[in-house]
Amino acid sequence: MGYKYVIESSAWAEYLGGTGKGEKVRQMIEHDVAATSVIAIVELADKFQRENQKFDTSLKFIKSRAAIIPITEWIALEAARLKKEIRSKHPKFGIADALHLATAMQEKAVLITFDADFPKDENVMLF
């Protein structure tokens, strides 16, 4: 199945938090064919744990709106390459960021994010 978007954890966090920023991605999450990296699930579960909030309901919603893409060998290798390449211009770009971007690339989808550590290009929609 082809996905139009891969939703990164910062976009999920804004949407699930009901913020004004989250409104900007409502259409994509609620009406478009989307996926998310399993890394987003880890990052969101961690955020909910730190904030002493239950993640169950949010996880069920995420799973109802987006396919969860596992880390493949290609994603792992591409993420390592992307991290090295992008970090020279974006010093805070980390391996989790690279895994999100590689997931979108594998799926031939646009990455949706609020994280300014990502480069602005045709594969990334930065809000």
Distance in angstroms (rounded) separating the CA atoms of residues 45 and 39: 10
**What confidence tens digit (pLDDT) does each residue in 102-118 have?**
999 999 999 999 999 99
Q: Which residues contact 13 (CB under 8 A, 6 or more apart)?
A: 44, 47, 114
The secondary structure of residue 107, as a DSSP letter, is: T
38-50 and 95-106 helices, crossing angle to 10°: 140
Domains and CATH numbers, the chain: 5-126 (3.40.50.1010)
Predicted local confidence at residue 122, as pLDDT: 82
Torsion of CA 36, 34, 115, 126, to 10 degrees: 160
Mean pLDDT, residues 60-87: 97
Full-model pTM: 0.94
pLDDT at residue number 93:
95
